[in-house]
Amino acid sequence: MSAEAADPGAPLRRRSRPRIDLRRLGRVALLGPVSRDRLPDAIGHVAEAHRAHHPDADLTILRRAYVLAESSHRGQMRKSGEPYITHPLAVTLILAELGAETTTLTASLLHDTVEDTEVTLDQVREQFGDEVCYLVDGVTKLEKVDYGAAAEPETFRKMLVATGNDVRVMSIKLADRLHNMRTLGVMRPEKQARIAKVTRDVLIPLAERLGVQALKTELEDLVFAILHPEEYEHTRALIAAAAGPDAPLDTIADNVRGTLRDAGISAEVLIRPRHFVSVHRVRRKRGELRGTDFGRLLVLVTEDADCYAVLGELHTCFTPVISEFKDFIAAPKFNLYQSLHTAVVGPGGAVAEVLIRTHRMHKVAEAGVVALGNPYAQDHAAAPQTEPSDERADPTRPGWLSRLLDWQESATDPDTFWTTLRADLAQDREITVFRTDGGTLGLPAGASCVDAAYAQYGDRAHTSIGARVNGRLATLSTVLSDGDTVQLLLAQDTASGPSPDWLDHARTPAARIAITGWLTDHPDEAKPAPSTMTSADPGGPGPAEPAAAERAAQATAPARTRSGPRATGVVVDGPDAPVRLAGCCTPVPPDELTGFVVRGGAVTVHRRACPAVAAMQEIGRAPVGARWADAGGRESDAGCRVTLVAESFGRPRLLADLTEAIATAEAAIVSATVEPPSEQRVRHTYTLQLPDAAGLPALMRAMREVAGVYDVSRAQHPAPAG
């Protein structure tokens, strides 16, 4: 608001958005109010820009707002020496050029009156109504005398909360910051840098999320000039050197115009120069810049179908670069952006990027939520209520903003809020995942099932025990991709809580704050991390649950052994001795084997991968060579014995369904153990007699297909005797 701002960017201005003449306005503003029957000259620019978007707009309220703003700010000067009224005028002109409606412009003219003059909110409400009063209050800064060092973060918190009810609050703030950044040069260098960093970390990401690209790109260039002056000057020189009448994009643009004209497609083809930061990014990515890297072609049409017609002609008449094609019309970005992106090869091999959109899409791409007009003009009370998690149900209250407002309530400490806000806004890409009930969740790229759980259930997510991603069971640490379908699984025990390990996988502030809060409140109750669930290849055994493997690895005594039903199916090296199959891993053909001599001279045979093998070797037991008797790795008709561990979620009839699956596979249950449920998870251990080892994969597959079972593996720890 009253921060003064530099003009490093005079050359950056867009040709379609002329700067307001502050010196002329300053002289006009000093002349004082005018008669009631005509519009003050000082807001002539604003009225002209406003009528271009809203031809029937009533300018009476703008006149009254200007008169109040001019009279209340009279005598105040900016640090640049201009009358202070030039600032709200410039901010209002920025919004008028973007197409903001009359209420927003009225509040913009008055946005500093309550903060910097004797005007009160009650006076604003009395003269201009509740809407204007709300917007002015939303952008009014909190006093440092009351909040001290917390004034800035708490002011932003206040603005964000106000934005949650009316996005026009943030529209005014963004335009306010843009004008301040344009004239920041009168400030000390250290203050310029501080304001530029806050703009970079908070305001630019907010402009991106609200889709206001026209403000975002200019803010980026102004910040670039202040924080990276050398790179800025180098980029400026490159752009100046590339300018000229024979630019390669001009030739390609002419060819595109001719192609579309011959196809009978009415379209406007423009060359859209890249802004400074965009050119800088391309140079860092590619190294040496091509002549076509300094801009892109913009093709504007009337209807959505025309966009695809243009795309078809371009891909037919030019060589397309298929890897550059993106369809943001069928799948709009979370910030309302819609466009077709492609690239084609022009004469001489020059590659040009092309944006294809309707005029309406272009307006929204430039102005974002500002282009929506007044979203609160209609009575929404009668409108059907939409699912709040739907990112596009209400474009004025996008999902990211709802999530931000939710977590900020838990970040009561200003420093925590300020740090978390910057980290949250730094995540510049979002993904959409689908819930099994038909809703959607918007999450930052890299989010895990932990984040999805807290986004969907809030504090109820403390009881999460797993998830299904695209129908397959997955750990809570699983990173989600755009378009995934996720079903979160919660324990019935509402007293359970998160593991500290969850913090390693949480990307969203809501999840991190909720987990940290629970762990702080329950220092002695943090549960261990959930076991690693796996949807192993159904054609073979999956990996064992980690805790079980650790228990086996820690074994220091010989594993219990069991005489095999046909121990003669195994041949061991050395003297003739009884051979037994180890009950800890129940080897079956074609497992690789190794044996150990135990008390009494018998040889116990283990699977070579059994953790007990390492334990035996650590205590000095020498291994004995062992192998299956016949070359085919099959036992005799007596079959084989194996111990399987089934990990599952508890539910009624689970044991009956598992035993039915085992019986269907023609396996006999020698012994079975069901451990007490832990966090709604149950471990079943079965020692089974199979007629043939070849049937083991099919048996394990059948057990995994039982509802609630998320893993079946070969036992790798001592099993109960049969």
Catalytic residues: 115-116
What is the C-alpha separation between 476 and 722, in angstroms, rounded?
36
CA-CA distances (angstroms) from residue 148 to 113, 145, 207? 22, 6, 27
Strand partners, 525: none
- Strand order in 570-572's β-sheet? 561-562, 579-582, 603-607, 593-597, 623-628, 570-572
Name the 3-class secondary structure at 340: strand
Largest CA distance in the chain: 119
Contacts of 122 (CB under 8 A, 6+ apart): none
Strands (DSSP E) contained in 477-634 are 485-490, 561-562, 570-572, 579-582, 593-597, 603-607, 623-628
Long-range contacts of 404-407 (CB under 8 A, 24+ apart): 404/160, 404/509, 405/160, 405/161, 405/164, 406/458, 406/510, 407/508, 407/509, 407/510, 407/513
CA-CA distances (angstroms) from residue 718 to 197, 352, 592, 715? 61, 67, 19, 8
What is the C-alpha separation between 148 and 7, in angstroms, rounded?
30
Name the 3-class secondary structure at 484: coil
Do the strands 485-490 and 430-435 form a parallel or antiparallel pair, or are they unpaired?
Answer: parallel
Name the 3-class secondary structure at 454: helix
Q: Express the helix, strand and coil content of the chain in percent, nearest 5 each.
A: 45, 15, 35
Burial class (CB in 10 A: 0-12, 13-18, 19+), 243: exposed
What is the C-alpha separation between 153 and 687, in angstroms, rounded?
62
Burial class (CB in 10 A: 0-12, 13-18, 19+), 607: buried
- The 10 Å Cβ neighbour count of residue 521 is 9
Name the 3-class secondary structure at 623: strand
Contacts of 587 (CB under 8 A, 6+ apart): 581, 593, 605, 606, 607, 610
Residue 264 region by backbone torsions, left for phi larger than 0, else alpha for psi between -120 and 50, else beta: left
Q: What is the dihedral of CA 105, 106, 108, 113, to 10 degrees?
A: 170
Helices within 566-711 (DSSP H only)? 611-618, 654-664, 696-704
Q: Annotate 221-268 with DSSP letters as a single string.
A: HHHHHHH-HHHHHHHHHHHHHH-STT-HHHHHHHHHHHHHHHTT---E
Residue-wise burial string across 464-492, b where 16 or more C-beta atoms lie within 10 A, e elsewhere: bbbbbbeeebbbbbbbbeeebebbbbbbe
- In degrees and rounded to multiples of 5, residue 144 shows phi and psi of -65, -30
Number of residues that this document lists for the chain: 722
